[in-house]
Amino acid sequence: MRAASFRMTRRAAPALAATLALAPMTGRTPDPAAVATVTAAVATVTAAATPPSPLVVAAKRQSRVFRDGDGREVTLRGFNVSGSTKLYENSLLPFRSTADAARSAQAMRDLTGANVVRFLISWEGVQPSPSTIDHAYLDRAVEQIRAFTGRGIRVLVDYHQDLYSSHLFDQGSWYTGDGAPEWVVKAGGYPKESCGICFLWGQNMQTNEAVRRAARDFWRDRRISTPEGEVGVQEAFLRQAAAAMTHIRQRLPEQDFAAVIGFDPFNEPYDGGLEGESGLEWEKTYLMPFYQRFRAAMDAAGWAGKPAFVEPLVFWNTGFFEEGGFTTVGALGNRYVFNSHFYDGARMTIDPSPASDGVYGAAMNEIRDRARTLATAPFVSEFGHKLSGNGSDRTPWMVRAMYQAMDSGVPGRNWWRTPAAGGDVLSSTQWHWDLYSGRHREVMNRNPAKVRTEGDAWNDEDFSVVAADASGALATRLDRAVLDRLYPSAVAGDVLAFAYEDLARSGYGGAGQQRAWLAVPSSMPNIAALVRDRRFGVLVWREPAAAPGAPTELHLPASFTAATTAVVGDVATRAGLPASGPAAIATETGSSTAHRLLLSPSGAAPGTVHAALVVGAATGPAVTPAQLAAAAAELAAWKEQRFPT
């Protein structure tokens, strides 16, 4: 099968579920030790936090990255909120209430240190009839967005669709979709839907004629007759998008709007029929012109200072038939972001092998390379793997390997020898964060006999990295070590290299192997001894031409406490972090439990290269001053050899 295997292979159909036994949920349910109960009092306090400053796409030597108002290189890490936007029980929004959004935002900040979400909205939610923009729907979305911006979390707004619309599907269908409203589908006059022999929901994109014709009509802006008159399908979408963006812009306070990083115009575009063209030709003929029209709508709606996060043909990086990836559209530039997804279609279907060190480096480097060619920044807005069902036992290390490859495109076993070859740190949002995981009640395709309660309640998916108990307390379902990671959230200058050893276990609930992937070479025995059986990260960066207006910041995982974190490098070498000084600890905006490391070099000349080794030393023997000094000498020699001034 073609890349039916990419996004589509992340969801198994009921027919497949009948033959593949679901893995027991033990270990996938919340870990009590990771539970974060968010009280109304805490929510009130943290909601008053100042939202983050605007981001721009800016040059970095031979690539483009995100930079904040202080010129720092920003790495965005977070989650999609959420697949619940596909559900009518949620009124086509990520959350059923602003209070639920606040609980999720608080738990996300506390449990993972996330600084961005991809916030899903629905065309059907915005425009339930040809002449109606549902401002109440948009107002609820705005309040939910503010629950995140008020906690220091940036927001990417996403117009989500899968298989075009739920209204294409019969009540008895195995599958469903989301996106376009009923009035668009009714006016289209599409044939009876049928996927044929499909084991994966995404195969509908290739074999379901109703889905394919609807997509083809959208890209060709077919004229349809509605009770309010004739309109082009794409024209209708762009009109409501402009109205929605205008309303969101008007309703969001200025500081909250500053924390919105941009708009994703269309989730996972697929062609609906190439008609003899290649995928690259289709992107140039249909997809890019649509994005240019959406870009114009953003400008008119007051979003001119924010980029459009544009996705290529959904199958572009599967290696199968429909190649795409914008190689024929020319440079995108700073007003666009190259926005890709990544799912391991092979391991979701026919490849039984586990993930390992460096297994996803080539895939993430392809995203880096494509963005560089397009003269813009890259963003991975979806990635992940299922948390129940056949193959879910491999999920913890698959997700670990994806994060590793986004940190650096070089395998851990080679990183110390070739750190500069790892490329830029990739920003991303994992699929996904569902407050209601396993506790849904969704009537599928308007059929009261098909009420979905398990997992994500949509096409048999189960991807949420969190779940809540009956009291509403949220906890991670994956090993928290995978999700709560050391990462360079804002670097004063240019990141030259970064890697992190998370020591995440291969199983659930504390089970499975624990194996280091970021192997320190024997030529650095003192560093090797310091980090043995410990989580640690290494950041190398270059001072900017002008004196930085803010320090370099790294998010610290919860296990990196003030008393037990060691820092080694030219900025500072010490065990234990004070509240001030060249290496200091501070709370994350919007959280009282999550922390960040602040590195402030003193009097460094422009272009100076710094290296910092950050070690979580809560376990093992006490760190001694002599051990730190010896490790610092090795790190300095390594830096001069690998990054000569």
Cross-strand bridge partners of residue 157: 119, 263
Instruction: Return the residue matching tokens 């979905």.
Output: 452
**Averaged pLDDT, 470-482:** 92
- Reported as a single tens digit per residue, the pLDDT across 432-448 is 999 999 999 999 999 99
Least confident range from 35-49, 186-200, 593-607: namely 35-49
State yes or no: pLDDT of 319 exceeds 70: no
> Strand 536-542 relative to strand 116-121: parallel, antiparallel, unpaired?
unpaired
Q: What CA–CA distance (Å, rounded) separates 126 from 248?
A: 11
State yes or no: pLDDT of 613 exceeds 50: yes
CA distances to 304, 314, 338, 339 from 371, in Å: 21, 16, 6, 9
**Averaged pLDDT, 273-292:** 93
Q: Which two tokens stand for residue 345?
A: 């279609």
Q: What CA–CA distance (Å, rounded) separates 338 from 308?
A: 9
Confidence band for 323, pLDDT divided at 50, 70 and 90: confident
Q: Where are the alpha helices (DSSP H) in 311-394?
A: 345-349, 361-373
Confidence band for 65, pLDDT divided at 50, 70 and 90: very high
CA distances to 8, 158, 160 from 179, in Å: 16, 11, 6
State yes or no: pLDDT of 554 exceeds 70: yes
State yes or no: pLDDT of 27 exceeds 60: no
Q: Where are the alpha helices (DSSP H) in 532-624?
A: none
**Averaged pLDDT, 34-45:** 38
Predicted pLDDT at 482: 97
Confidence band for 345, pLDDT divided at 50, 70 and 90: confident
Predicted pLDDT at 46: 40
**Averaged pLDDT, 606-629:** 96
Burial (CB < 10 A; 0-12, 13-18, 19+), residue 194, is middle
Confidence band for 625, pLDDT divided at 50, 70 and 90: very high
Q: Tell me what the pLDDT averaged over the chain comes to.
A: 91
State yes or no: pLDDT of 28 exceeds 60: no
Predicted pLDDT at 49: 67
pTM of the model: 0.92
Predicted pLDDT at 43: 40
- Reported as a single tens digit per residue, the pLDDT across 219-267 is 999 999 998 899 999 999 999 999 999 999 999 999 999 999 999 999 9
Residue 59: how many CB atoms within 10 A of its CB?
A: 11
Q: Which two tokens stand for residue 514?
A: 């624990």
Q: What CA–CA distance (Å, rounded) separates 214 from 143?
A: 32
CB 85, CB 93: distance < 8 Å? yes
Strand (E) positions, 34-152? 56-60, 63-67, 73-74, 77-81, 116-121
Instruction: Return the residue matching tokens 């009956």.
Output: 470
Residue 273: how many CB atoms within 10 A of its CB?
A: 16
**Averaged pLDDT, 92-106:** 97
Predicted pLDDT at 359: 97
Residue 600: how many CB atoms within 10 A of its CB?
A: 17
Cis, bond preceding 82 (omega within 30 deg of 0): yes
Q: List, in order, residues 6 or more apart from 81 with CB less than 8 Å away.
A: 94, 95, 101, 104, 117, 118, 119, 120, 148, 432, 433
Confidence band for 483, pLDDT divided at 50, 70 and 90: very high
